[in-house]
Amino acid sequence: MTQKFTIFVSSSDSYADIWDLFFDLFKKYWPEYQGEIVLNTETLDYSHSDLNIRCSKVGKLGSFGKVLRAGLDSVTTENVLLVMIDYIFMGKVNHQQVEEYYQYFCEEKIDSLCLEYQGYPNVTDTTHPELVNVIPPAPNIMFSYQIAFWTKSMLREMALPHENPWMSEWYGSQRAEKMRIKLVCPKQEIQWPIPYDLRGCLHQGKWLDNTVEFLNSINYKVDFEKRGYYLDGYTTLQYRFKAKYMIWSTGIKGSYIDLWKREGSL
């Protein structure tokens, strides 16, 4: 019998204003899911009709890595489906396909099975006609941790206590390569089981245009003015300087030496 999994929604209290949005769309597009959902929070509680939500309430720990690890420690199953709160479901979930992929995840003892194709450069065939093995693409390409099945123990390794979400994926991609994790995803031509925009719905706490357009198209009312709109600044010199500084400062806090230790343990 395939063991159960928990849906783990990575969040914090600062996103409380979008919890209704996230779970309204979750319920609308995945009504078949009847299992537990752990919403990772710091102090707040939350409930939603017809959804089995338990809030972790891990306390004010001060960093994403600490909050993520504490939240995972509260999950009772070894396997989780990781979802980030600032990404929303944008269409009907193929429940049967999700269950099929999860069964393969368990049978093949995979560390992570991402439900979206992310342009990985190095893949090989698996025994499943829709899935490919991924050679972790670091050091030059990051991979997103979600939306994906993970063993809880491996996901915990992917975020050090001092790292923020982006830095955990930046350095985590390199950790994954050094640890040679078993990573699987759908082939490029396969339709994703969960319709999802990998840009997310927020950046730096502000609404992205893709989400504004989508929510307007389904007549879901949101006061976008409260958070404001994100104006593309990915290519500015200031943005690039901040990104490089963030990588360096995170590295000297422990991410560099962690990679060095993992290199030496091989």
Look at the pTM and tell me if it is higher than 0.85.
Answer: yes
157 neighbors 165 (Cβ within 8 angstroms): no
Comparing 21-30, 36-45, 231-240, the range with the smallest average pLDDT is: 231-240
Give the Cα separation of 128 and 240 in Å (integer): 40
Q: What integer pLDDT is reported at residue 236 of this predicted model?
A: 74
- Asked whether the predicted pLDDT for residue 20 surpasses 80, the reply is yes
Comparing 28-32, 48-52, 69-73, 132-136, the range with the smallest average pLDDT is: 132-136
Higher pLDDT, 39 or 266: 39
Fold of the 5-198 domain:
Spore Coat Polysaccharide Biosynthesis Protein SpsA; Chain A (3.90.550)
Q: What integer pLDDT is reported at residue 242 of this predicted model?
A: 86
Burial label, 56 (beta-carbon count in 10 A; 0-12, 13-18, 19+): buried
Q: What integer pLDDT is reported at residue 138 of this predicted model?
A: 55
Question: What is the average pLDDT across 111-128?
Answer: 91
What percent of the chain is predicted at pLDDT more than 90?
75
Comparing 11-15, 109-113, 151-155, 203-207, the range with the smallest average pLDDT is: 203-207
Q: What integer pLDDT is reported at residue 23 of this predicted model?
A: 98
Which tens digit of pLDDT belongs to each residue from 35-78?
Answer: 999 999 999 999 999 899 999 999 999 899 999 999 999 999 99
CA distances from 232 to 140, 169, 206, 207, 236 (A): 23, 21, 11, 11, 9
Confidence of residue 140 (pLDDT cuts 50, 70, 90): low
Which tens digit of pLDDT belongs to each residue from 160-185?
Answer: 999 998 899 899 888 988 888 999 99
Q: What integer pLDDT is reported at residue 199 of this predicted model?
A: 87
Could you tell me the residue ranges of all domains in the chain? 5-198
Confidence of residue 240 (pLDDT cuts 50, 70, 90): confident
Q: What integer pLDDT is reported at residue 264 of this predicted model?
A: 58
- Asked whether the predicted pLDDT for residue 143 surpasses 80, the reply is no
CA distances from 83 to 8, 13, 149, 218, 256 (A): 6, 16, 9, 22, 27
